[in-house]
Structure 1
């Protein structure tokens, strides 16, 4: 981003907006202060003029000439020029020289230019018409007051200009900082778009709203990277795991084409092909099932589900299978009453059934499997434990990936999708899958924390 585009940045615009708002408030405040200060000085002068006017009216008319002459002697700088004029406007006494000026109003203060004084200074005056027709004029030279007003206005304007300059500089610095952050974010995004999924948006130490947004985006990028790696892993796993059954199918069909001569031999080749095809369809159906669950379309149909009732249904389904393998299979509850959560009963049944099926599959002949429904102070859930070979701690997260087969399960039938499906169901219900060492064996827990 170029400096010519500085005005387009949000930071610069916000800073400028606040500067304008501050400027309007400052202008109103300065205007109020200027008006109050100048008004106070004028009111003070007017009060003095009114008091002098009242005393003048009460004084003996015969003594006015002497008083005005005396006032003139003690006011050589004409700060308070007084004047007494006869009925024709001729100057009689006082420090204000010349003939009577034009008087806009009598007996109340007014402003006028003291034209007969050097420099024609401004003044605030009051005039009184005496009973004998003479006119008394009392004035206050306001040159210093006007100079103070000018200096005050100059100071206010200078302060306003300095504030404006500092504000614009600050807004520019804020805009430049925002531009640099946006440039860094844009460069990171362009690098991510180019294919570097490991790159993340830069986070500063300010921990402001932009950093919060960047943190959310980085979390989204982490999830996207995980999903991309998972998709790549799934594609590789599909290519690897499906190549073997497809190769067997192709080999069996080619052998049947070359060697089979009787109907029974052809039937045997077709049966083998059907078995392999059924396994492939089961794998693809499991993948589609996981995709459906992860899409969340079933979330709209959530109802109150009793985990204890789901566990009882799973126990009832797999009890005969455990008996056939001579495995001691039982169900326990650590708390009485239902354990209700919001969810899909069929999906929860499917997830728990996969865990139980794995436990029975890996439990040794004559071993034991236990299904436990529990609740503690942090949440509730269902655990499945067995005394089989267990899962190594290094593989506990890996077994949740699609098509992953641990060392203990590499030679057992299965597609490696059971735990992936259970994980998808758990994520849809806000649950998690945890592993505990049963010594020997393994305990897999489907856990729902308290909200």
Structure 2
């Protein structure tokens, strides 16, 4: 299994990327080493050439006797022939120095190299310059460059060994990166496979280091959260439709069957038809509300976004519901923000959502109760808060109340279809706003808050 995974490593992006960077690094390494080698070699050889030219200049300016004596002393002292300079006469025979003949060269006063050895010794590299003196004799100034050649070999060996080690370490690193990436992708693949097979609660693993895969996994996990929520809502909608719409459909069918079985008068037939029409209109209103929520969640209204002042929304909604509050002797108060509370959104949708929140509060608050509409506005956020002193919402129902067609036990005897808060939740998601339920002690407080914008 391990070797099977290793065979897949070369196909990973991390391995190929590591190879590309390894190749670039090797090219940079070779270029840098080549430049150092070229500069070092040039410096050392130029130093030798400068020494040879100084020797030629010094000897060529001396009288013949002094020149011979100095070269003889040098030959006696230079027992290892590290500077085998030699003086030849006009016919090419050696006068003083270890060389037996003038080495092959191209032109005078130019540096050349040869492999030369004194009697009984190994060949050694020598760099020399041939110079013609005024008396037609030939001076060969030479320097042993064996140490320089050894230094060059040392540099080349360092290049080969260092380059080989670099390639080996780079390949090991590339394989390690590829194998690590492969293992991580295997984990992602397993998680995705489980999700595809129906485990919507599973999420892609995240290491927490904020790298590219982590960021992608976080986005995908967010998408999976939304999908799981939508699937849960869909299941809840199906269950709630089966539960809540069964009663009005049963009443509709029962009323029509009774009208068909019994001999009713014309007035009784009209009454039965009116009841059936009322039930059908109620069902149609429910499906229209469901369709509108779906359109809102699809984001079809984003094109109508503009800058909206929530102070004006709150004032219009409060004015609309004021007669209903007065009819039940409910104290409906509005607390506006001292400055504009602007967000980017659809004015009509925000108005409808606020109406649903206020209608929900008035529906459950007792007569002579209290409902407050407050506009929230600060430097970074704007929103609305609607609180009442009614029975409130139990903690275990605060998530469920936003499901479509959900109606708690306390709301079964209240008019409505269980879609008002679902619509508010859809509008909040469309506007990237948070919708939260809190205790008002007593009662309930609902807040819908978004990011503030400049008016």
Q: TM-score range by the shorter chain?
A: over 0.9
* Secondary structure of 1:200's aligned partner: coil
Counterpart among 242, 245, 252 of residue 245 in structure 2 = 242
Residue of structure 1 equivalent to 2:330: 327
Asked if 1:78 is matched to 2:71, the reply is no
Counterpart among 401, 405, 408 of residue 407 in structure 2 = 405
Counterpart among 354, 358, 361 of residue 360 in structure 2 = 358
Asked if 1:380 is matched to 2:385, the reply is no
Displacement of 1:376: 4.1
Displacement of 1:26: 0.8
Write the deviation string for residues 253-305 of structure 1: whole angstroms up to 9, x where unpaired: 11111123322222222111111111111111111111111111111111222
Question: CA RMSD for the aligned pairs?
Answer: 2.1
CA distance in 2, matches of 1:114, 1:53: 20
Asked if 1:131 is matched to 2:134, the reply is yes
Write the deviation string for residues 320-356 of structure 1: whole angstroms up to 9, x where unpaired: 2223333333333242x54332221111111111112
1:119-268 equivalence runs, <5 A: 119-204=122-207, 206-268=209-271
- Is contact 1:373-1:383 (8 Å) kept? yes
1:286-325 equivalence runs, <5 A: 286-325=289-328
CA distance in 1, matches of 2:202, 2:372: 45
Asked if 1:278 is matched to 2:278, the reply is no
- Is contact 1:50-1:108 (8 Å) kept? no
CA distance 1:99–1:329, change in 2 (3 Å): closer
CA distance in 2, matches of 1:86, 1:334: 114
Write the deviation string for residues 343-390 of structure 1: whole angstroms up to 9, x where unpaired: 211111111111121122112223333333343455332222323222
Asked if 1:53 is matched to 2:87, the reply is no
Which of 178-187 and 430-439 deviates more?
430-439
Asked if 1:24 is matched to 2:17, the reply is no
Write the deviation string for residues 8-45 of structure 1: whole angstroms up to 9, x where unpaired: 21111111111111111111111111122222221221
Residue of structure 2 equivalent to 1:7: 10
- Is contact 1:430-1:448 (8 Å) kept? yes
Displacement of 1:161: 1.0
Aligned length: 449
CA distance 1:347–1:213, change in 2 (3 Å): same
Residue of structure 2 equivalent to 1:102: 104
CA distance in 2, matches of 1:6, 1:197: 30
Write the deviation string for residues 109-155 of structure 1: whole angstroms up to 9, x where unpaired: 33233377644432111222122211111211222321221122111
CA distance in 2, matches of 1:221, 1:384: 32
CA distance in 2, matches of 1:105, 1:119: 27
- Is contact 2:311-2:337 (8 Å) kept? no
- Is contact 2:81-2:118 (8 Å) kept? no
* Secondary structure of 2:301's aligned partner: helix
Unaligned stretches of 5+ residues in structure 2:
none
Write the deviation string for residues 390-413 of structure 1: whole angstroms up to 9, x where unpaired: 212222222112112123212212
Residue of structure 2 equivalent to 1:438: 440
- Is contact 1:114-1:120 (8 Å) kept? yes
CA distance 1:180–1:86, change in 2 (3 Å): same
CA distance in 1, matches of 2:404, 2:114: 98
Unaligned stretches of 5+ residues in structure 1:
none
Residue of structure 1 equivalent to 2:44: 41
- Is contact 1:432-1:448 (8 Å) kept? yes
* Secondary structure of 2:366's aligned partner: coil
